[in-house]
Amino acid sequence: MKMTFRWYGKDDLVTLEKIRQIPNMYGIVTAVYSVPPGEVWPEKDILDLKKEIEKHGMKMEVIESVPVHEDIKLRRGNYKTYIENYKENIRRLSKAGVKVICYNFMPVFDWTRSQLDKELADGSNALVYYKEHIDKLDPTKLELPGWDSSYTSEEMKELIEAYKKLGEEGLWDNLKYFLEKIIPVAIECDIDMGIHPDDPPWSIFGIPRIIKDEESLDRFLKLYDDSHNGLTLCSGSLGCSRKNDFVKMVKKYSSMGRIHFAHIRNVKILEDGSFEESAHYSPYGSLDVAEILKAYYETGFNGYIRPDHGRMIWGEIGKPGYGLYDRALGAMYMTGIWETLKKF
C-alpha cells in the first residue's frame, strides 16, 4: 500500500511542506489545474510539478484528474480533437513517470453536495448531501471545489438538456467509444486508467449516471477487458448507497487486479438515504474502514491509496473537504490499521 495525499498546487493552503510531515506519506496526487479541460498539458508544467513534489521527498505517480471534456461524453462538437489531446496527455504523463491516471465520466457535475460546511455535533464542519435540499437547488448555479466551473448558467442549462436527451445507454455507448480510443495508448505507455465512480451513485437533476454499483462496474470492466482499464474505487462514493456492499466490491475487484487507486472516507447514511461525511474512524459513520482495509490487505493490494474528503476541524480554513488536519488523521488511522494487519 502506497499512501498518497491530494494537493491542488502552489495555491493550495495545504502545502507540500506540511504534507511531507505526515508519517508514511509516499506520494502526491495532483494535476495541471491551469489548463482548460480537453487541452494538452504543457510538458514543462508536468515536469515542474514533478520536480516540486520530489524536492519535498515524495513521488508524483498518480494524477487526479485528467478531465474528460463534455464533448467527449456527449460525442459531439470537437470530441475527436479532445480525444487526441487526451491520448497525448497520457503519453506526456507516462514520460514523466506517472503510473495511474484517475478520471470520471460524470455528466456536467463532479461530486455533488447540498452544503459544504454543515456543523456536526462535535463542532467540526463537513460536506453533506441532503436529498430535500438537492431537490430545491438550481443546477445551473452550482459551484463546488475541485471541478470545472467555467460554464455560464445558459451553457449549463444546455448541457443538462443534452444529457437528458442522451440517456444512460447513450452515455454507455460514448464511454465505450472513449475507452476504445484511449486504452490502447495506456497499454502502450503502461499507464493504469482508473475511473472514479459517480458521486453520489444515482441520477441527479434528471441527468444519467452510470458508474454506480457492482452491476455497472462489471459492465464497465468488460467494455475493454484489459488490466490497464480499471477502477479508482471510492468508499465514500459507492458507500453512500445502502445497496452497495463496499467490502465485497473491494474483495472482488482487488482480486481481479482491477483497482488501481483507492479512495477511503467514511459517510453516515441517514434514514432517507441522505448522508453526511464523517471522520474516517469507523464508529463515526456507516462504513467499516477496518474491514475495508482488511479486504485490500488480504487480496494483496499494493497500489495507491489516499484519505479522501475530510472534515474541517480545529478552526482550519481552506478548500471544503480538502483541509490538512482531518485528512492527516485519516491517513494515520489507515496506516495504523495496515501496520496491524501486517503484524498480526
- How many helices, marked H, and strands, marked E, lie in the chain? 11, 12
| Number of Cβ within a 10 Å radius of residue 14 | 20
Tens-digit pLDDT profile for residues 16-35:
999 999 999 999 999 999 99
pLDDT at 141 over 80: no
State the pLDDT at residue 205. Answer: 87
Determine the Cα–Cα distance for residues 227 and 254; give it in Å rounded to an integer: 11
pLDDT at 142 over 70: no
State the pLDDT at residue 136. Answer: 84
Q: What is the pLDDT confidence band of residue 137, given thresholds at 50, 70 and 90?
A: confident
pLDDT at 167 over 70: yes
Catalytic residue among 69, 228, 260, 263: 263
Q: Is 234 a catalytic residue?
A: yes
What average pLDDT does the segment 198-210 reach? 92
Q: What is the pLDDT confidence band of residue 175, given thresholds at 50, 70 and 90?
A: very high
Amino acid at the residue 88: E
pLDDT at 64 over 70: yes
Q: Is 309 a catalytic residue?
A: yes
Q: Is 189 a catalytic residue?
A: no
Could you give phi then psi for residue 149, rounded to 5 degrees?
-125, 30
Catalytic residue among 12, 192, 308, 326: 308
Q: What is the pLDDT confidence band of residue 144, given thresholds at 50, 70 and 90?
A: low
Q: What is the pLDDT confidence band of residue 244, given thresholds at 50, 70 and 90?
A: very high
pTM of this prediction? 0.94
Write b or e for each residue in 174-209: b if 16 or more Cβ atoms lie within 10 A of its Cβ, otherwise e: bbeebbebbbebbbebebbbbbbbbbbbebbbebbb
Residue 41, C-beta contacts closer than 8 angstroms, at least 6 positions apart: 32, 35, 66, 89, 92, 93
| Number of Cβ within a 10 Å radius of residue 104 | 23
pLDDT at 160 over 50: yes
Q: What is the pLDDT confidence band of residue 146, given thresholds at 50, 70 and 90?
A: very low
Catalytic residue among 86, 296, 322, 333: 322
Q: What is the pLDDT confidence band of residue 156, given thresholds at 50, 70 and 90?
A: confident
Q: Using the 8-state DSSP alphabet, how is residue 69 labeled?
A: P
Could you give phi then psi for residue 334, rounded to 5 degrees?
-70, -40
pLDDT at 147 over 60: no
What average pLDDT does the segment 288-297 reach? 98
**Average pLDDT score over the chain:** 95
State the pLDDT at residue 81. Answer: 98
Nearest CA to 245 among 289, 213, 269? 213
pLDDT at 85 over 70: yes
What average pLDDT does the segment 82-94 reach? 98
Catalytic residue among 102, 189, 234, 240: 234
Catalytic residue among 192, 309, 326, 333: 309
pLDDT at 149 over 60: no
State the pLDDT at residue 150. Answer: 63
Q: Is 196 a catalytic residue?
A: yes
Q: Is 198 a catalytic residue?
A: no
Question: Which range, of 127-131, 153-157, 226-230, 335-339, averages the lowest pLDDT?
Answer: 153-157
Catalytic residue among 12, 129, 196, 253: 196
Q: Using the 8-state DSSP alphabet, how is residue 312 labeled?
A: B
